[in-house]
Amino acid sequence: MSKKLKKRLKRIVTGALLYLVAVLSSHFIPNLSGTVELVLFLIAYFVMGGNIVKAAVKNIGHGQIFDENFLMTIATVGAFLIGEYPEAVAVMLFYQVGEWFQSYAVGRSRKSIAELMDIRPDYANVLRDGEEREVSPDEVAIGEHIVVKPGERIPLDGTVVKGASSLDTMALTGESVPRDVATGEEVISGCVNLSGVLEVKVNKVFGESTVAKILELVENAGSKKSEAEHFITKFARYYTPMVVICAALLAVLPPLFIGGEWSVWIYRALSFLVISCPCALVISIPLSFFGGLGGASRAGILIKGSNYLEALADAEIVVMDKTGTLTKGTFVVTKRVPVKGVSEAALLEAAAYAESYSNHPISQSLLEAYGKEVDKSLLSDVEEVAGYGVRAAWKGSFIYAGNAKWMEQQEVQPEVTEEVGTIVHVAKGKEYLGYLVIADEIKTDAKKAIDRLKEAGMKHIVMLTGDRKKTADSVAKELGIEEVYSDLLPKDKVDQVERLFTEKSAKGKLIFVGDGINDAPVLARADIGMAMGGLGSDAAIEAADVVIMTDEPSKIAKAIQISQRTLVIVKQNIIFAIGVKILILLLAAVGSATMWAAVFGDVGVAVIAILNAMRAMNIKAK
């Protein structure tokens, strides 16, 4: 509990004790002077609600009249004026109790986000001139070496050049099992080094590192409000003045036209004001979305705003890329097929040089299969064309590596093959050198992901891929995906998504899940774009609305489930709060509800709604 909350709790306890003294004195001290009784209740009132009255006066001075401070102040001052001292102090007491619960709930939900913010590294141990220096992470340049000791957080993305260790990646991915790393493997910033000392060569500056991008996503998430939050903000703006006018009419019109004592109708109008305070709605709804966002982040799903969390509940169509989304994206060269007169080694060498500047997983598999250092000084005019392949000038000629369409563009006739896997054709100038077969593995939870999406009632589950039909059909059949489109360029994927838009309902949403740079246009076009954070490209993560840090496709259904659960809680709170308030308002208007019922209609409903909203934070990681 924070110091501020403790201080407020002390004030509530002190005010409650003074209130008890005032109530006992008025009941058990015979001939207690009315003035002394009033003073006792006023002391308790100002200890409890002095800050509320002060805030109401201050806001009126700033032109902001109609807020909950104003409602509480005029209701309680009115109660004093008609001699209802105990009720006036009780309203302030329970209002403060409700406010304390509200602050506690918001603090708890912020804590879950703050735990994620703790991934921000404070320093980096950089090696300069043979010495280890502690500097700010944003002072370290690409190519410099940093040392990460056991217990320290990895400050920058890089490659391990010395040492081996286990990493705690839970804050980033939600995965509780430590990940082992050794020389040659890449590490991402924000993970905690658990055992050995690591020397890491920095690959990205701090502003471009994983931790900086995640923090930016989280920090901006709160600014994108859901439709329900926008509705409540507008609702409160008109609702509060309206209930003040209704209360004034209730206090004045009945005594003039129906009859009855003024004090009775004023009492009913004051009860009306206390009941109508919109705290339960104004606080519990944003808190529910905040809890859903925090719970999702703990499960390794970063959602960039409440609007996307809300939209996920209406998902009808899920469209997925294959490579890196349903398959691991860790490729292995399984076959080398050179044309006559070209050796396997020469074919692989040409492909490795052509692809050496690309970060695509297929390029990395070619470099791994080549197994030698690529002399990049021999390369020039390197160009990568998304959806086709790469080109580079090498040893006086252009070499090309890519799919059959890329070869045809270069006026090279590739060999037709029915091999299952990704085919990389290679040519030198107009001379065709042969092709390599590269295989990918299906992710272990991909089948479970498709099964869960079917259970969730998706109208369409579609796989779009730039791979050949035979490879795409093989993967789709194994996973149980019935709708698959292959040999697609980035533009073709956008066209397919446009077509699928016509097949969803007006309220329904289309989700696209991808990971590569070529997926960025479709991620931006879809109602909700999801990117695989671990393997995904920076462009894909930037364009996406939701980032799955664990690279597990089963988290797609998990995100939809979190959204649906959060919206159920939001709807429960709206129906409960409005329903109970309307009931007690009607009872108060006809004189059947006392100020005590009004206190329950305000504070009791708010506390119950807040406690219900806090359930949105309880999300299981798996």
Query: Which phi and psi angles does 151 have, rounded to 5°?
Result: 95, -15
Are 546 and 559 contacting, i.e. CB atoms less than 8 angstroms apart? yes
Are 355 and 366 contacting, i.e. CB atoms less than 8 angstroms apart? yes
Amino acid at the residue 580: V
Amino acid at the residue 568: V
**Alpha helices by DSSP H, 299-360:** 306-312, 344-355
Sheet-wide strand order for 165-168: 179-181, 165-168, 192-193
- Is 495 considered catalytic here? no
Angle (CA) 443-448-453 rounded to 5° is 120
Provide the b/e sequence for 108-146 (b: ≥16 CB within 10 Å): ebeebbeebeebebebbbbeeeeeeeeeebeebeeebbb
Q: Which of 11, 13, 16, 36 is nearest to 25 (CA)?
A: 36
Q: Spot the catalytic one: 67, 157, 314, 321.
A: 321
- Specify the length of the chain in residues: 622
Provide the pairing of β-strand 431-439 with 422-428.
Answer: antiparallel
Largest distance between two CA atoms of the chain: 118
Are 134 and 172 contacting, i.e. CB atoms less than 8 angstroms apart? no
Query: Which phi and psi angles does 350 have, rounded to 5°?
Result: -60, -45
SS3 category, 411:
coil
Q: Which of 569, 531, 582 is nearest to 228 (CA)?
A: 569
Amino acid at the residue 94: F
Q: Locate 436 and state its tokens.
A: 């390599």
Give me the residues paired with residue 337 across strands: 435
Question: How many Cβ atoms sit within 10 Å of the Cβ of residue 218?
Answer: 20
Query: What is the DSSP code (8-state) at residue 43?
Result: H
Question: How many Cβ atoms sit within 10 Å of the Cβ of residue 30?
Answer: 5
Amino acid at the residue 582: I
Give me the residues paired with residue 320 across strands: 463, 513
Alpha-carbon distance of 295 to 572, in angstroms, equals 19
- Tokens 């006809």 belong to 590
Alpha-carbon distance of 445 to 246, in angstroms, equals 58
Alpha-carbon distance of 15 to 451, in angstroms, equals 57
Q: Could you report how far apart the first and last alpha carbons of the chain are, in Å?
A: 29
Alpha-carbon distance of 319 to 499, in angstroms, equals 12
Alpha-carbon distance of 62 to 84, in angstroms, equals 30
SS3 category, 319:
strand
- What DSSP line would sit under 576-602, residue for residue? HHHHHHHHHHHHHHTT-S-HHHHHIII
Give me the residues paired with residue 385 across strands: 389
Query: Which phi and psi angles does 397 have, rounded to 5°?
Result: -135, 160
Are 616 and 292 contacting, i.e. CB atoms less than 8 angstroms apart? yes
Residues carrying an active site annotation: 321
